[in-house]
Amino acid sequence: MVGITAFGGYVPKLRLARQAIVDAHVWADPSLAGKAKGERAMCNWDEDAVTMAVEAARACLNGDASAPGAIYFASTSAPFADRQNAGIVSTALSLPEGIASLDIASSQKAGVSALLQGIGAVRGGLYESALVVASEKRRVQAGSPGELAYGDGAAALTVGQEGVLAEFVAAQSSTVDFIDHFRGATEAYDYTWEERWIRDEGLAKIAPPCIEQALAKAGLDAGAVDHFIMPSTIGRAVAGIARKVGITKGAVADNLHGVMGASGAAHPLVMLLHVLETQAKPGQTIVLSSFGQGCDVLVLRATAALADYQSANGIVDALARRQVENNYQKFLTFNDLIRLEKGMRAENNDYKTALSVTYRKRDMLLGLVGGRCSQCGTLQFPRTDICVNPQCHAQGAQEPCSFREQPAKVLTWSADYLAYTADPPSHYGMIAFEEGGRFMTDFTDVAAGEVEVGLPVYMVFRIKSVDSRRGFVRYFWKAAPAAR
Amino acid sequence: MATGIKDKVAILGMGCSRFGERWESGAEELMVEAFTEAVGDAGIDISEIDAAWFSTHYEEINVGKGGLPLSVALRLPNIAVTRVENFCASGSEAFRGAVYAVASGACDIALALGVEKLKDTGYGGLPGGLGGTLTPQWSANASAPGSFAQLASAYRAKHGVERDELKRAIAHVSVKSHANGVKNSKAHLRREITEEDAINAPMIAEPLGLFDCCGVSDGAAAAIVTTPEIAKRLGKENIVSVKALQLSLSNGAESGHNSWDGSYFHTTRIAAKKAYDEAGIGKPREQVSMFECHDCFSITEMVTMEDLQLSPEGGAINDVMDGFYDADGQIPCQIDGGLKCFGHPIGASGIRMLYEMYLQLQGRAGERQLPKPSIGMTHNLGGSPMSNVAAVCIVGAYE
């Protein structure tokens, strides 16, 4: 039996109230007035598809020491066009360097395609297990429909043969160059065709036959489908597909529009996690569909193991970790949608990154790996030749030790209005890890007045700074309040 | 066995430029201004200087690297000029180089000159630096006030101090320095403020407001040193000699090992103890007449009073509020206005502090002259609370 063996989800803590978006644009487009309900997930300034993928994958693996044979990273909003994004995720999680990695992109079905590739590879015996991560932060122009409809998020799954939670039953794909929207290689934003045409000529004609063929392969009646997962930002389009195929109305899964918005290529998997966590019962059938220049459709069946499975951090947990943002200006600022005066101090980020240093220190910078002195046991970050313990100073005695999962508390802090950050004040301070080790680090996802000495924090993978002149994103770990 | 520096070296002459936003002057003009006063005060000819130590921190926005900027600006007679840099303690480092050169017997007369031209950056506050190729890839997005502000959080937690109580105490630290700065014609900031002004000022880095931060100033300061014997031979009276000169640097323990609580300066405590030992001072609270502390931020000054063993641990707030460090208090601190109001041209500051102690000990401090000081101390700090360079220098009357 091959199938999904674990999962983890991630949704940024910030949720932009759609009312705030509508309030900003309704003067120009009165029809927006009816679209002010709910909220969309919004990346903090220091989050992108890679950072969200790290957090989702981290929750999925949950300290599992058995490394997957491959990592698949799916996104249409990956920060690097030519630098394996999956490799950043892999290094951030200290996965062994002897695994395969692959970025899957260029279509809204990339997330399900990645899962399909992972299942295929494990079924074919290429790998014992595979890690599939889909993550999306779609760029939208201010005032565009996507600004209201989309939301940022990520989902990670492992595929394997042991402890299967949802068994692979059948799959069907189609490839049709239907251009509902496109984004040229040098463009920042999508160009989108008319919704009615997409719904009637695209979704309604391309998806049903693919779903029907998948069900036929599985030997299943459409009426027996318990959960039908298919994202679409077009109202009633998915209900229409279900009706056409014969899937019951009650089987159509919540697309989470009200609580986070559509997370692009990641969204089918985000919705799948939500179904697995909240609805799917052992033995139930799940149809997972995606749409983007054709379809990938998977038929899955929940196993008895699902009933006992508890994700370290699923989509339900991620949705619960929430802070409503009513300031639309922050969304514009964080997403570079406004030409804002940043001040000369922002120029401090305008330096080339010494890539040879980034590589030499990759376990430290991406994996938060420090050292443990084999003589005195002191934990320390960074790892150096000579132990930091004043009573020890042993030389060459340190073994690599990751601080990713070490609990810590705030020792000192300040909220700084002078240092440049997209989200002032810049919160930072010394954090002391409970088992030893400390360093001064940036804090993130904190509200004004929230930080105090002794506050429990945990480490999260984030953008450290961006070299926008050269298009390079620097990553490191930051401390976030521990309520997870 | 080392015998220490006590009374081996005398200050022959000192000079200090006016500090402030010296839009009309570059580093070169500031160096000449300080040096002209110092060499005149010493009563020597430039040709009598055997070697020079030159301190400046931000070479990128200032004069560039090396010893040449000093040599060229002063047209020194092709002598050795060594550039030193040790963050904000660079001035003390230049002084140490000159003092050690004389003490070793290698030089009869040596010059220490520090300068910083900060106001060519285009914005307020100190410029940020990268700190190498690795540091910017992981260290926190910190400014100088944000780095030092963290002392307040740890000090409050350790001693159970309410935020309002701390805000008022550090406000008084600044009020006192502003009052002193009014009487100093070379000072950058010469306006009295009230505690309410300081408490209600715009926030820079919690809990430090605008008046908790020192001035960002252009300026230069110079010291010419020699042996007490030569000073006497040159006819000098009221000779001021070096009693102690100590430097202590962090080794990563504060920033990387859980033995430090974040509320004090580990290095200052070490440097102060060594300096008191070197100078033979057993009861600093009773024996030190006055001192210049590295008051880059009000909170720095407050916790440093404990690190220098002048206030008991946890007792600085009481001493500050009692006026113990005011101009008419038991140990006047920042009698010249300090970094807060005299200003903080980084490479010059350590020498500027000595300049005031020297004037006071010679009875030449004019309006702000203290009654009969005998021991003056300077505390010059570079870096951040987590990792720093602490310099403590004690000077006094040569007997």
pLDDT in tens, A376-434: 999 999 999 999 999 999 999 999 999 999 999 999 999 999 999 999 999 999 999 99
Distance, in Å, from the CA atom of B145 to the CA atom of B205, rounded to the nearest integer, reads 6
Confidence of residue B190 (pLDDT cuts 50, 70, 90): very high
Answer yes or no: do A350 and A320 share one domain.
no
Which residue, A334, A360, A377, sits at the end of a domain? Answer: A334
Q: Tens digits of per-residue pLDDT, A111-146?
A: 999 999 999 999 999 999 999 999 999 999 999 999
Can you give the three-state secondary structure of A18-36, one letter per residue? HHHHHHHHCCCCHHHHHHC
**Residue with the two structure tokens 């006016």:** B18
Over residues A227-249, mean pLDDT = 97
Answer yes or no: do A236 and A290 share one domain.
yes
Percent residues over pLDDT 70 in chain B: 100
pLDDT for position A447: 87
Residue A384 lies in a domain: no
Confidence of residue A65 (pLDDT cuts 50, 70, 90): confident
Residue A105, min C-alpha distance to chain B (Å): 28
In this complex, is the C-beta atom of B121 within 8 Å of any C-beta atom belonging to chain A? yes
Answer yes or no: do A288 and A352 share one domain.
no
Cβ <8 Å between B139 and A440 = yes
A 10 A CB-CB count for B366 gives 10
pLDDT for position B128: 78
Name the residue among B137, B150, B208 with its Cβ closest to that of A412: B150
Residue B52, helix vs strand vs coil: strand
Answer yes or no: do A276 and A364 share one domain.
no
Residue A388 lies in a domain: no
Distance of CA A307 to the CA centre of its chain: 25
Helix axes B298-307, B144-159, angle to 10 degrees: 50
B152 contacts in chain A (CB < 8 Å) = 414
DSSP for A381-407 reads SS--SB-S-TTT--BS-EEEEE-TT--
Distance, in Å, from the CA atom of A206 to the CA atom of A153, rounded to the nearest integer, reads 26
Answer yes or no: do A298 and A362 share one domain.
no
In this complex, is the C-beta atom of B163 within 8 Å of any C-beta atom belonging to chain A? no
Answer yes or no: do A220 and A326 share one domain.
yes
Cβ <8 Å between A343 and B253 = no
Burial classification of residue A16, based on how many CB atoms lie within 10 Å of its CB (0-12 exposed, 13-18 middle, 19 or more buried): buried
pLDDT for position B366: 96
The residue of chain B with its CA nearest to that of A389 is B257
Distance, in Å, from the CA atom of B156 to the CA atom of A227, rounded to the nearest integer, reads 56
Name the residue among B205, B259, B262 with its Cβ closest to that of A430: B262
Name residues whose C-beta falls within 8 Å of residue B111's C-beta, 6 or more positions apart in sequence: B35, B38, B49, B51, B52, B53, B98, B222, B223, B224, B225
Phi-psi region at A345: left, alpha or beta (left = phi > 0; alpha = psi -120 to 50): alpha
Over residues A449-469, mean pLDDT = 96
A428 contacts in chain B (CB < 8 Å) = 140-142, 146
Interface of B with A in 91-120 (CB under 8 A): none
A373 contacts in chain B (CB < 8 Å) = none
Cβ <8 Å between A361 and B134 = yes
DSSP for A65-133 reads -S--SEEEEE-SS-S-SSS-HHHHHHHHTT--TTSEEEEE-SSTTHHHHHHHHHHHHHHTTS-S-EEEE
Distance, in Å, from the CA atom of B71 to the CA atom of B79, rounded to the nearest integer, reads 8
Q: Does the annotation count B344 as an active-site position?
A: yes
Q: Does the annotation count B88 as an active-site position?
A: yes
Answer yes or no: do A99 and A213 share one domain.
yes
Answer yes or no: do A216 and A314 share one domain.
yes
Distance, in Å, from the CA atom of A384 to the CA atom of A392, rounded to the nearest integer, reads 13
Residue A478, min C-alpha distance to chain B (Å): 9
The residue of chain A with its CA nearest to that of B142 is A419
The residue of chain A with its CA nearest to that of B138 is A476
The tokens of B138 are what?
A: 């992981």
pLDDT at A484 over 50: no
How far, in Å, are A483, B157, B170, B204 from residue B299 at the CA level?
Answer: 31, 14, 6, 13
A415 contacts in chain B (CB < 8 Å) = 205-206
Answer yes or no: do A304 and A161 share one domain.
yes
The tokens of A191 are what?
A: 């160009």
pLDDT at B36 over 90: yes
pLDDT for position B155: 98
Cβ <8 Å between A465 and B141 = yes
Name residues whose C-beta falls within 8 Å of residue B73's C-beta, 6 or more positions apart in sequence: B27, B28, B31, B32
Q: Amino acid identity of B331?
A: I
Cβ <8 Å between A430 and B145 = no
A–B interface: beta-carbon pairs under 8 A: 138
The tokens of B151 are what?
A: 């002392």
Distance, in Å, from the CA atom of A24 to the CA atom of B347, rounded to the nearest integer, reads 51
> Where in chain B is CATH 3.40.47.10?
10-120+218-233, 144-212+239-397
Q: Tens digits of per-residue pLDDT, B120-159?
A: 999 888 887 778 999 999 999 999 999 999 999 999 999 9
The tokens of A142 are what?
A: 């201010």
**Residue with the two structure tokens 């298009």:** A471
B351, B57 Cβ separation under 8 angstroms: no
Q: Which of A296, A87, A83 is nearest to A176 (CA)?
A: A296
Fold assignment, B144-212+239-397 = Peroxisomal Thiolase; Chain A, domain 1 (3.40.47)
Over chain A, what is the mean pLDDT? 97
B251 contacts in chain A (CB < 8 Å) = 390
The residue of chain B with its CA nearest to that of A367 is B138
Q: Which of B178, B266, B294, B344 is catalytic?
A: B344
What is the domain-level CATH number for residue A135? 3.40.47.10
Cis, bond preceding A425 (omega within 30 deg of 0): yes
pLDDT at B237 over 90: yes
The tokens of B386 are what?
A: 């987590």
Answer yes or no: do A319 and A182 share one domain.
yes
Answer yes or no: do A225 and A262 share one domain.
yes
Residue A339 lies in a domain: no
Residue A340 lies in a domain: no
Over chain B, what is the mean pLDDT? 97
Cβ <8 Å between A440 and B140 = yes
Over residues A47-74, mean pLDDT = 96
Rounded to a whole number of angstroms, the CA Rg of chain A reads 23
Percent residues over pLDDT 70 in chain A: 100
Q: Which of B88, B107, B341, B393 is catalytic?
A: B88
pLDDT for position B127: 85
> What is the ipTM score, two decimals?
0.94
Burial classification of residue A226, based on how many CB atoms lie within 10 Å of its CB (0-12 exposed, 13-18 middle, 19 or more buried): buried
Distance, in Å, from the CA atom of A105 to the CA atom of A92, rounded to the nearest integer, reads 20
Cβ <8 Å between B140 and A429 = yes
Over residues A314-318, mean pLDDT = 97
Residue B173, helix vs strand vs coil: helix
The residue of chain A with its CA nearest to that of B160 is A453
Residue A235 lies in a domain: yes
Name the residue among A345, A416, A465 with its Cβ closest to that of B145: A416
Cβ <8 Å between A430 and B150 = yes
Cβ <8 Å between B143 and A418 = yes
pLDDT for position B60: 81
Q: B135-160: string of b/e by CB count within 10 Å (b at 16+)?
A: ebbbbbbbbbbbbbbbbbbbbbbebe
Answer yes or no: do A290 and A353 share one domain.
no
Handedness of CA A240, A242, A243, A248 (dihedral sign): negative
Phi, psi of A372 (to 5 degrees): -125, 125
Distance, in Å, from the CA atom of B165 to the CA atom of B317, rounded to the nearest integer, reads 8
Over residues A316-321, mean pLDDT = 97
A324, A40 Cβ separation under 8 angstroms: no
The residue of chain A with its CA nearest to that of B130 is A348
Tally of domains in chain A: 2
pLDDT at A61 over 70: yes
Q: Which of B231, B222, B291 is nearest to B43 (CA)?
A: B231
Over residues B384-397, mean pLDDT = 98
CATH number attached to the domain at B10-120+218-233: 3.40.47.10
A241, A225 Cβ separation under 8 angstroms: no
pLDDT for position A201: 97
Cβ <8 Å between A436 and B258 = yes
Residue A58, helix vs strand vs coil: helix
pLDDT at B117 over 80: yes
pLDDT for position B59: 85
pLDDT for position A7: 98
* Dihedral Cα A194, A200, A205, A210, nearest 10 deg: 70
Distance, in Å, from the CA atom of A271 to the CA atom of A110, rounded to the nearest integer, reads 15
Phi-psi region at B102: left, alpha or beta (left = phi > 0; alpha = psi -120 to 50): alpha
For A438, the domain range is: 345-368+403-481
Residue A172 lies in a domain: yes
pLDDT for position A64: 86
A379, A436 Cβ separation under 8 angstroms: yes
A428, A464 Cβ separation under 8 angstroms: no
Maximum CA extent, chain A = 74
pLDDT for position A79: 98
Residue A64 lies in a domain: yes
Q: Looking at the DSSP assignment, which residues form a beta bridge with residue A296?
A: A173, A290
pLDDT at B170 over 70: yes
Q: Tens digits of per-residue pLDDT, B312-367?
A: 999 999 999 999 999 999 999 999 999 999 999 999 999 999 999 999 999 999 99
pLDDT for position B215: 86
pLDDT at A279 over 80: yes
